[in-house]
Amino acid sequence: MLNRLLRWWRQLTAMRTALVLLFLLAVAAIPGSLLPQRSLSQSNVSQYFVDHPTLAPWLDRLYLFDVFSSPWFAAIYLLLFISLIGCVVPRAVEHARSLFAPPPTAPRHLLRLPENTELQAPLAGPAALDVVEEELRVRRFRVVRREGRSGPELSAEKGYLRETGNVLFHFSLLALLLGLAAGKMWGYEGSILVTEGQGFCNSFQQYDTYRSGPLVDSGDLAPLCVDLTDFQAQYEDDLTAASYTADIDYQLDGSAEPPVTIGVNDPLRIDGARVYVTGHGYSPEFSITLPDGTTFTDLSAPFIPADQGTMASQGVLKVPDLGAGATDQLAIEGFFAPTGALQGGVLTSVDPRPLDPQVAVVVYTGYLGLDSGLPQSVFSLDQNQIDRGLLTEQGRANLAAGESMTLPDGTVVTFSGVKEFAALQVSHDPGQIWVLGAAVAVLAGLLGMLLVRRERVFARVAPAADGGGTVLSIGSLTRGSADTGPRFTALTDAVQAALTARSTAAPAAQQLSEEAPPS
């Protein structure tokens, strides 16, 4: 059992296993970029369910709308984390030892190394090795002289930063995973649709969707309240969206702060939290006048865009408090067109800008079932209530801004106008700075791995066969570059030139000393 466990551990902590897991993590993240995610936009997920009513539930069972918080993604993440620890820590310890260890001894057969040569030197063995050592130290090699079995020898090495970069890369990758995990454990984010003139506070109870780490509770949320005062969407000539900006007022810990303008890539950053604009749409406004003259005004609800090109939107306004009875409730289900046009009697939108807002509505009265304890979407009616006869259709009409329709009981429903809403997201990620630093360190380690060469040079001297001078054998072994020939040739040429200069300088110096007059 122990042997099997050790074998499994060695397989898990092997570098190839870490690479396979890293590849699997990248593949597992693909659905998160292809499918809408609840953590980013609940409205897009809801629209996907509308567009693909058969496929969407199966995808949801596989957590493909919550990829980065799914159990299978977490399993790959955890295995990769363990594999990296088991792979990198022993490698870092071994590298730390090699930093303080001298270069290895020269191999017995120097001329079998990939780069090798023999030079004839008229100098004695130690003097010839002195020349080689000087040239290597100029090139920033770490040099050790030894007395080998085959005579005096020299070992030199440089390029330790290559392995340092390798270790830094893997430790930084580990730190990156830790930072991401910290963001999941101690971070939170919430999304909400806010119509102009309305606001919200940073509370899980107010968000349409939210995600929080297991170590986060409501008391950890930043004391932030936001009011949306105005929203502007700019469009290109081809009517594609160019920019979204939202003017907001906000209070921090009960104190009002100066108004700010935020955009898609320009969030409000305050107290460790960030407020982003992630989308927009329209909230049609209605007023309802009952037969007894009671009027309800400024009733609105966000309609979710069904077509991003024209911003044609669908939604429902639920009004549960028209009367004292539980069945005195009303719902307006509709299709909104920012710039409406009738095509074959059917309302459609031809422009995403609110140039001629129109709405096609169906009005229901009865019991909405909001207090039944059963969950239902705020963006659509519960079809079961209609099928059971608890909601009854009272009329339908196409309305432009300012137009009204009258129900059989005398209730008047008026389309008052339209406001824009912004999809806002509040997020807090304590591991963000850590992730940024780790990403920079990953890049630095990668550059070290790619740009630094690990080189070893060995030299050995032996007496020449004719008894005069020395035979200098030099060999080189390089990792990290295939173009080693020119570098080794430059080294040997420099050594040969230095040997020649040293050999000619020695007789000249001796002659000068002999010709010098006695003092």
Longest dimension (CA), the chain: 136
What's the topology of domain 102-159+453-505? Answer: TATA-Binding Protein (3.30.310)
Mean of the per-residue pLDDT values of the chain: 85
Mean pLDDT throughout 344-365? 91
pLDDT for res 250? 93
| pLDDT tens string 32-59 | 888 888 776 666 787 788 888 888 889 8
| 321: three-class secondary structure by DSSP | coil
pLDDT for res 508? 47
Distance CA 503, CA 124 (A): 10
Q: Where are the domains of the chain?
A: 1-88, 102-159+453-505, 285-415
| pLDDT tens string 487-496 | 888 888 888 8
Residue 145 has pLDDT above 80, yes or no: yes
Mean pLDDT throughout 333-349? 90
* Res. 511 pLDDT band, cuts 50 70 90: very low
pLDDT for res 509? 45
Joined together, the tokens standing for residue 212 give: 């929080």
Task: Please provide the DSSP assignment of 138-201 as one string.
Answer: HTT-EEEEEEETTEEEEEEEE-HHHHHHHHHHHHHHHHHHHHHHHHHHH-EEEEEEEETT-EEE
Distance CA 41, CA 59 (A): 16
Closest CA to 162 of 71, 118, 99: 99
Residue 513 has pLDDT above 60, yes or no: no
Q: How far is CA 508 from CA 39, 123, 247, 491, 511, in A?
A: 83, 14, 87, 26, 5
| 501: three-class secondary structure by DSSP | helix
* Res. 480 pLDDT band, cuts 50 70 90: low
pLDDT for res 246? 93
